[in-house]
Chain A
Amino acid sequence: MKKPSALSILGGLLLLLAACALAPRLSGHPGLRPPQAEQPELLSVLFGESRVAIGERLYYLADVYYHAGIGYANHRNDHHHDHHDGHHHHHDDDREAALFPFAGEDAAESAAPLVDHCDHDHHDGHAQHHEDSRRREHGGDWWIRINRRLKPRGHRHLHGRREEREILPWLWAAVKVDPKHIDAYLDGAYFLAERLGRPDEGLRMLDEGLRHNPGSVRIYFARGTMLFHRFDDREGAFSTFAQGREAWLEQWEDWRQTMACGQTEAEQPDTLIYYRLLGYMGHIAERQERPEQALALYGEALPFSPSPRLRDQLLARIEGLEAR
């Protein structure tokens, strides 16, 4: 074999040197990076597109753990949705009490019904489930009856900090696998802040959620309420709610444009969360002696009142402010 000449060795070394010098510059070049805000999580890269299904499964496992290992698969389409809505949005009649921070005498007190109502709804859903189970309890062959007696049955929740912390690994895994899973961030933050007494960690989780989902109004809202109720940070809460409002308005504008193009199946942004964002913002402005700003915010919220009663309540509040 012919030996390489000194010139080719020198040329090769020069090329290697050039490549080494160029590499650090190129690695930071924006044109070479994929169009995303953050470095993706390792697990998310590993699972590719299947991460959504796996993330959903892990999130479901958190729910199964919350019910002491018993999944409510049959209620997946109706009840499960309500359950998680219950934690964060509240619904129907009970919703009204928690819509605005001034629903109670004190703003901090208004957080209390959030948990109570959510558990109330949650139990209602399960009560129906167990009624169905009781109906099915009788009958079936020997194998079915043995299984029924062997498998744990009944409605049990994790109780107390020692037990409730057990759902965290699944929520952690759900957001690592699918960083777009907003419900997992919201539930994780809720459990950390409200049930486990770790609001700092809860806030950190919401911040991580916002890093991966910059336009999520729900996360902005959860972050704002956490800052307001748990940290008593009104400035921080107001600024977070304001960011949420901006994000919502952008989505609203996009939706209007889509509708104008004739795509009537486009999903309308949640007007209730907008109403609540404005409610909190107006309430903070009122507390901070900025009545004009509060009036403007309440006025903006008025067309989105979810019920006539709340509309009347808000009108009375506006009139009170105007009379000052």
Chain B
Amino acid sequence: MLSIRKIWAVARVSLLELLRRRDVYVALILAVVLVVPLSTVNFFGVEGIVRHLREVSLLLIWLFSVVIAITTAARQIPGELQRRTILPLLARPIRRSEVVLGKYVGSALAASAALLLFYLCYVLLTGLLSEPQAETTRMQATLMHMDMTMGQAILMHLAFVWLLTAMTMAGSLILTVSANLTCCALVAVGMLLFGEQLPKIADQAVFPASWIVRLAHYVLPHFEFYDSRVRLIHEWGAYDWGVLAIVLLYTLLYIAFLMIFSTLVFNRKRL
């Protein structure tokens, strides 16, 4: 039986490690440096234009979330192996599966914390820059951005980060760090951009490319499910809870599969 206490002990170390790193703060400063000057551009003297700011801000949030999730998860176990600190850790009464899960939970929580910080800045920024309605104050306009759609979008993005972290963690046990970083970044960005079009691409391609694309469609995680940017930017309203539940179930099943795979690989690994 897995011990939650032991898993949390390993996770806490990973979480603290991320807080000590400065990646998140650098990303935050970079986002502010890019978005704030953009908000001052005068478009033909017309004021209150916000959607392009939402577009750029959300693009940066997605970009940074991919970078932070992948770089955090990819270094966890290989780092321990490289520094040989894995041996004293495993000398304690802790299972290998608990180490893998602890590392995963730590990375996922760290990436989630960074993501929530980004979204907090996003809500504040877009809320403050948008034009308040006649009967609302600027603060009320800011709070209005924290609606159901925003909550669901954050939940979907968190699910994306958890899945990406799990995939990177699994990759870190079978690939070198650089190869894993490259592959995970390619899969994440590729699926975000082309995931929805894969069946159409497969139809238009010739054998064997068509088979490979179709296989990718069935096997690779569909990261495009989680992209709520259009919904948020153009105010399309909240998701249907039923489909949201299906996506979250899909995420949990995929993460469970990846964690079982990671545990099996790590159990067989010679240290």
Whether A147 contacts B49 by the Cβ 8 Å rule is no
- The interface residues of chain A lying within 8 Å CB-to-CB of B196 are 147, 151
In the assembled complex, how far is the CB of residue A155 from the closest CB belonging to chain B, in whole angstroms?
12
Q: Which listed residue (B222, B230, B234) contacts A143, Cβ 8 A?
A: B222
Q: How far is the CA of A165 from the CA of B43 in the complex (A)?
A: 9
Task: Judge whether B33 is part of the interface by a CB distance below 8 angstroms.
Answer: no
B230 touching A65 by the CB < 8 A rule? no
Contact A146 B44 (CB under 8 A): no
Choose among A143, A144, A149, A196 the residue that contacts B240 (Cβ–Cβ < 8 A): A149
User: A194 on the interface (CB 8 Å rule)?
Assistant: no
- Known: A165-B48, A165-B49, A201-B46. Contact between A152 and B225, CB under 8 A? no
CB proximity to A under 8 Å, residues B93-125: none
Most B CB within 10 A of own CB, among A151, A166, A188, A205? A166
- With A68-B236, A147-B225, A152-B230 known as contacts, the answer to whether A201 contacts B44 (CB < 8 A) is yes
* A68–B234 CA distance with the chains assembled, in angstroms: 5
Tell whether A33 is near chain B: CB-to-CB under 8 Å. no
Q: Is there an interface contact between B222 and A172, defined as CB atoms closer than 8 Å?
A: no
Q: Does B35 contact A (CB under 8 A)?
A: no
Is A318 an interface residue when CB atoms closer than 8 A count as contact? no
Q: Name B173-207 residues within 8 Å CB distance of A.
A: 195-196, 199
Q: State which of B45, B230, B247 has its C-beta within 8 Å of the C-beta of A151.
A: B230
Chain A min CB distance to B224 (Å):
7
Segment 230-245 of B: residues with Cβ below 8 Å from A: 230-231, 233-236, 239-240, 243
Tell whether, in the assembled complex, residue B46 and residue A165 are in contact, meaning their CB atoms are under 8 Å apart. Answer: yes
Considering only residues 212-271 of chain B, those with a C-beta below 8 Å from chain A are 217-218, 222, 224-225, 230-231, 233-236, 239-240, 243, 246-247, 250
Residues of B within 8 A of A147 (CB): 195-196, 222, 224-225
Write 18 A-B pairs (CB below 8 A) sorted by A numbering.
Answer: A69-B233, A70-B230, A140-B199, A141-B199, A141-B218, A143-B222, A144-B199, A149-B240, A149-B243, A150-B239, A150-B247, A151-B230, A162-B131, A165-B43, A166-B51, A168-B43, A169-B41, A192-B46
Task: With A165-B49, A172-B44 given, name 8 new contacts (CB 8 A).
Answer: A69-B230, A140-B199, A147-B224, A147-B225, A165-B43, A192-B44, A198-B45, A201-B44
**Taking beta carbons and an 8 Å cutoff, which residues of A are in contact with B?**
65, 68-70, 140-141, 143-144, 146-147, 149-152, 162, 165-166, 168-170, 172, 188, 192, 196, 198, 201, 204-205
Which B residues are closer than 8 A to A by beta carbons?
A: 41, 43-46, 48-52, 131, 195-196, 199, 217-218, 222, 224-225, 230-231, 233-236, 239-240, 243, 246-247, 250
